[in-house]
Structure 1
């Protein structure tokens, strides 16, 4: 059954009033997409389930901060992404270098030379496998960019890095991904 914006807004109003049935309905509407989002970041089914459930709890307790400026699903997804990243970083401190240690400033060049990826000619599984095999910072930034659909500004906010470092990280991650994909041909 397709939900309209007014249906979702009505459910949100009921959730704000503490209606458990409405919360359950909202959960059922979004849990699969939010679970998949968490899984792509934390890379563990059980952990993704925990992160997703905790994210829903956080969302339901913070519904007053949802102002309707974006779709509810986008608001919820941002909570899931942030919670997934926070948990992943806590449990994998050794696996991830602080992003600022990985980056150094590069002069911006406007020659437009950037690794071009022709995704239409590559198998999706091959691309996903290659992304998963990248170092953690690159994997996370490309997951946020290509899979979750965030733009550079949102990624720099989520990862708490400067826009310049974000552009550099994305560029290097794309180059690294391209090299991995070329080795698989």
Structure 2
């Protein structure tokens, strides 16, 4: 049986379920900055991140009754934010495929350049020691924060942060060596 988490926002969530707009505003204020950062890291555009964030909160409030407390509220909300951000990128990619033939040629050339860079970064990530790679992937690619990573891996939050920083430095070094 899954252990339910003590939710520090249980009262706010109950009030939101009753339609209390001020409770919704408080939850939004508590989480919007961190969730915006996730949206921005995924979309890589300030305006798009704001749009995705709003969609995610609307969806969260509409589906709040489905929150069962099997994870922290922040983790539940983060999953919604990540899914909305990924869906946004998928939708945007479809729009790019509908460009005119002249524009597609330019996009293909730019994409090849980007794929080369992405490939180098992927290779650098693959060269990381296991601990560095796991923390880096969970943080940067999966969107977990250091508190969640520490819980998942059974390490301290400071260990997660130091592993992440060491991974970033190692990737920079590997990329620099590749470009020489």
Structure 2 length-normalised TM: 0.56
Say what the alpha-carbon RMSD is for the aligned residues.
3.7
Count of residues in Structure 1 that have an aligned counterpart in Structure 2: 121
1:182 aligns with 2:152: no
Match of 2:38 in 1: 37
Higher alpha-carbon Rg: 2
Decide whether the 8 Å contact of 2:7 with 2:72 is kept in 1.
no
Give, in angstroms, the shift of residue 144 of structure 1. Answer: 2.4
Match of 1:87 in 2: 88
User: Which structure 2 residue ranges, 5 or more long, are not aligned?
Assistant: 1-5, 98-124, 130-135, 150-170
Q: Secondary structure at the match of 1:92?
A: helix
Structure 1's consecutive aligned runs of 4 or more residues displaced over 6 angstroms after TM superposition are none
Q: Secondary structure at the match of 1:117?
A: coil
Q: For residues 89 and 15 of structure 2, what CA distance do their matches in structure 1 show?
A: 32
Q: Secondary structure at the match of 2:126?
A: coil
Give, in angstroms, the shift of residue 117 of structure 1. Answer: 2.0
Q: Deviations over 1:13-63 (max 9, x none)?
A: 000101000000000000000000000111100110010011001000000
Match of 1:130 in 2: none
Q: For residues 25 and 61 of structure 1, what CA distance do their matches in structure 2 show?
A: 16
Q: For residues 139 and 177 of structure 2, what CA distance do their matches in structure 1 show?
A: 17
Q: Which has the higher helix share?
A: 2
Residue among 111, 117, 126 paired with 1:115: 126
Q: Secondary structure at the match of 2:80?
A: helix
Once the two structures are superposed, the pairs formed by residues 15-54 of structure 1 within 5 Å of their partners are 15-54=16-55
Q: Deviations over 1:74-128 (max 9, x none)?
A: 0000000000000111112358xxxxxxxxxxxxxxxxxx93426xxxxxxxx9x
For residues 142 and 22 of structure 1, do their structure 2 counterparts lie closer, same or farther at Cα, with a shift above 3 Å needed? closer
